Chain A
Amino acid sequence: MSTNKVNIDMSAWKEEVTKSYPTKVAKKRAKSIVVSDPDSIPQIQSNVRTIPGIITQRGCTYAGCKGVVLGPTRDIINITHGPIGCGFYSWLTRRNQTKPVSPEDPNYMMYCFSSDMQDSNIVFGGEQKLAQAAREAFEIFKPKAMAFFSTCPVGLIGDDVHRVARQMKEELGINVFAFSCEGYKGVSQSAGHHIANNGLYTHLIGNQDKEIEGKFKVNVLGEYNIGGDAFEIERIFDECGMTLVATFSGNSTIDQFETAHMADLSVVMCHRSINYVAEMMETKFGIPWFKGNFIGAEATAKTLRKIAQYFGDKELTDRIEKFIAKEMLKIKAVIDVIHPQTEGKTAMLFVGGSRAHHYQELFDELGMTTLAGGYEFGHRDDYEGRRVIPTIQIDADSRNIQELKVTQDETRYRPRKTEAELESFKEEGFEFNDYNGMMADMAKGALVIDDLSHHEMEKLIEMYHPDVFCAGIKEKFCVQKMGVPLKQLHNYDVGGPYAGFEGAINFYEDISMIVNTTIWKEIKAPWEAEDVIVAEYAY
Chain B
Amino acid sequence: MLLRHTTAEDHERKALTVNPAKTCQPVGAMYAALGVHGCLPHSHGSQGCCSYHRSALTRHFKEPVMASTSSFTEGSSVFGGLSNLVQAIDVIFKVYNPEVIAIHTTCLSETIGDDIVQIIGKAKEDGHVPDGKYVIHCNTPSYVGTHITGYSNMVSGLIRYFSTATPKKKNAINLIAGWMEPSDMREIKRLAKEMETRTILFPDMSDVLDTPLTGKTVMFPKGGTTIPELIATGDSKFTIGLGNYSTEDACVKLENKCKVKYESIEIPIGLKATDRFIQALSRHANVPVPDSITEERGRLIDLIADNSKYFYGKRVALWGDPDTLIPLVEFLVTLDMKPVYIVTGTPGKHFDESMTEILKDKVPEAKFMSGERADMFQLHTWIKQQGVDLLIGNTYGKYIARDENIPLIRLGFPIVDRAGFNFFPHVGYVGATNLAIKILHAILEHQDATCLEEKVELQM
CA distance A140 to B216 in the complex (A): 53
CA distance A115 to B19 in the complex (A): 11
A266 on interface, CB distance cutoff 8 Å: no
B residues in contact with A183, CB < 8 Å:
45-49, 72, 108
On whether the beta carbons of B112 and A397 are closer than 8 Å, the reply is: no
Would you mind naming 8 contact pairs between A and B with Cβ atoms under 8 Å apart? A53-B90, A58-B47, A89-B23, A92-B396, A130-B15, A477-B64, A478-B64, A481-B211
On whether the beta carbons of A112 and B19 are closer than 8 Å, the reply is: yes
A residues in contact with B69, CB < 8 Å:
50, 52-53, 55-56
A518 to nearest B CB, angstroms? 14
Nearest residue, chain B, Cβ from A87: B20
Tell me the residues in window 125-146 of chain B with beta carbons closer than 8 Å to chain A beta carbons: 141-144, 146
On whether the beta carbons of A111 and B47 are closer than 8 Å, the reply is: no
A residues in contact with B15, CB < 8 Å:
115-116, 129-130, 132-133, 136
Chain A interface bracket (under 10, 10 to 19, 20 to 34, 35 or more) = 35 or more
A residues in contact with B27, CB < 8 Å:
85
Which of A88, A129, A480 is the one whose CB lies under 8 Å from B213? A480
Contact flags A37-70 to B (C-beta < 8 A → 1, else 0): 0000000000001111111111111110000000
Among B80-88, B153-161, B275-283, B439-447, which stretch is in contact with chain A?
B80-88
A residues in contact with B46, CB < 8 Å:
60-61, 152, 182-184
On whether the beta carbons of A400 and B74 are closer than 8 Å, the reply is: yes
B22 on interface, CB distance cutoff 8 Å: yes
Interface size of B in residues (CB-CB distance below 8 Å): 86
Nearest residue, chain B, Cβ from A151: B107
Nearest residue, chain B, Cβ from A490: B55
B54 on interface, CB distance cutoff 8 Å: yes
On whether the beta carbons of B5 and A108 are closer than 8 Å, the reply is: yes
Query: What 4 pairs between A and B have smallest CB-CB spacing?
Result: A60-B48, A85-B24, A53-B91, A53-B88
Known A-B contacts A140-B11, A477-B63; A83 and B24 likewise in contact (beta carbons under 8 Å): yes
Known A-B contacts A136-B11, A140-B11, A184-B108; A118 and B143 likewise in contact (beta carbons under 8 Å): yes
Known A-B contacts A50-B71, A52-B70; A132 and B144 likewise in contact (beta carbons under 8 Å): no
B260 to nearest A CB, angstroms? 31
Contact flags A500-524 to B (C-beta < 8 A → 1, else 0): 0000000000000000000000011
A residues in contact with B449, CB < 8 Å:
none
On whether the beta carbons of A482 and B66 are closer than 8 Å, the reply is: no
On whether the beta carbons of B58 and A188 are closer than 8 Å, the reply is: no
* Interface of A toward B, CB cutoff 8 Å: 20-22, 25, 49-63, 79, 82-93, 103, 106-108, 110-119, 121-122, 129-130, 132-134, 136-137, 139-141, 151-153, 155-157, 182-188, 396-397, 400, 454-455, 458, 461-462, 472-474, 476-478, 480-483, 523-524
On whether the beta carbons of B142 and A85 are closer than 8 Å, the reply is: yes
B residues in contact with A155, CB < 8 Å:
77
On whether the beta carbons of B215 and A483 are closer than 8 Å, the reply is: yes
On whether the beta carbons of A117 and B48 are closer than 8 Å, the reply is: no
B residues in contact with A157, CB < 8 Å:
111
B385 to nearest A CB, angstroms? 15
Known A-B contacts A156-B111, A477-B58; A83 and B143 likewise in contact (beta carbons under 8 Å): yes
On whether the beta carbons of B3 and A111 are closer than 8 Å, the reply is: yes
Nearest residue, chain A, Cβ from B372: A116
Most buried by A among B48, B62, B111: B48
B residues in contact with A54, CB < 8 Å:
68, 71, 91, 95
Tell me the residues in window 267-316 of chain B with beta carbons closer than 8 Å to chain A beta carbons: none
B residues in contact with A49, CB < 8 Å:
71, 73
CA distance A129 to B143 in the complex (A): 14
On whether the beta carbons of B48 and A61 are closer than 8 Å, the reply is: yes
A residues in contact with B24, CB < 8 Å:
83-86, 88
A residues in contact with B228, CB < 8 Å:
none
Known A-B contacts A53-B88, A115-B16, A151-B107; A184 and B11 likewise in contact (beta carbons under 8 Å): no
Known A-B contacts A86-B52, A116-B372; A136 and B14 likewise in contact (beta carbons under 8 Å): yes
CA distance A363 to B68 in the complex (A): 32
Q: A132-B16, A477-B58, A483-B215 are in contact. List 8 more A-B contacts (CB 8 A).
A: A53-B68, A53-B88, A85-B142, A87-B20, A116-B17, A133-B17, A152-B111, A156-B108
CA distance A147 to B58 in the complex (A): 29
A121 to nearest B CB, angstroms? 7
Known A-B contacts A52-B70, A53-B91; A82 and B107 likewise in contact (beta carbons under 8 Å): yes
Known A-B contacts A55-B96, A474-B65, A482-B215; A118 and B55 likewise in contact (beta carbons under 8 Å): no
A530 to nearest B CB, angstroms? 16
B146 to nearest A CB, angstroms? 7
Which of A118, A134, A184, A473 is the one whose CB lies under 8 Å from B144? A118
B residues in contact with A111, CB < 8 Å:
3, 5, 18-19, 377
On whether the beta carbons of B76 and A184 are closer than 8 Å, the reply is: yes
Which of A52, A103, A110, A141 is the one whose CB lies under 8 Å from B91? A52
Nearest residue, chain B, Cβ from A132: B15
On whether the beta carbons of A85 and B26 are closer than 8 Å, the reply is: yes
B349 on interface, CB distance cutoff 8 Å: no
Most buried by B among A49, A51, A56, A153: A153
Tell me the residues in window 1-50 of chain B with beta carbons closer than 8 Å to chain A beta carbons: 1-5, 11, 13-20, 22-27, 42, 45-49
B106 on interface, CB distance cutoff 8 Å: yes
CA distance A480 to B216 in the complex (A): 9
On whether the beta carbons of B94 and A22 are closer than 8 Å, the reply is: yes
Most buried by A among B76, B77, B95: B95
On whether the beta carbons of B107 and A153 are closer than 8 Å, the reply is: yes
Known A-B contacts A53-B68, A58-B47, A129-B15; A140 and B89 likewise in contact (beta carbons under 8 Å): no
B407 on interface, CB distance cutoff 8 Å: no
B residues in contact with A182, CB < 8 Å:
46, 77
On whether the beta carbons of B88 and A52 are closer than 8 Å, the reply is: yes
On whether the beta carbons of A152 and B107 are closer than 8 Å, the reply is: yes
B residues in contact with A117, CB < 8 Å:
107, 143
B172 on interface, CB distance cutoff 8 Å: no
B167 on interface, CB distance cutoff 8 Å: no
A142 to nearest B CB, angstroms? 9
On whether the beta carbons of A153 and B111 are closer than 8 Å, the reply is: yes
Tell me the residues in window 182-210 of chain B with beta carbons closer than 8 Å to chain A beta carbons: none
Known A-B contacts A139-B11, A482-B216; A52 and B71 likewise in contact (beta carbons under 8 Å): yes
B residues in contact with A474, CB < 8 Å:
51, 54-55, 58, 65
A residues in contact with B141, CB < 8 Å:
83, 119, 122
On whether the beta carbons of A122 and B214 are closer than 8 Å, the reply is: no
On whether the beta carbons of B143 and A458 are closer than 8 Å, the reply is: no
On whether the beta carbons of A63 and B5 are closer than 8 Å, the reply is: no
A residues in contact with B372, CB < 8 Å:
116, 118
On whether the beta carbons of B144 and A55 are closer than 8 Å, the reply is: no
Which of A25, A63, A87, A93 is the one whose CB lies under 8 Å from B48? A63
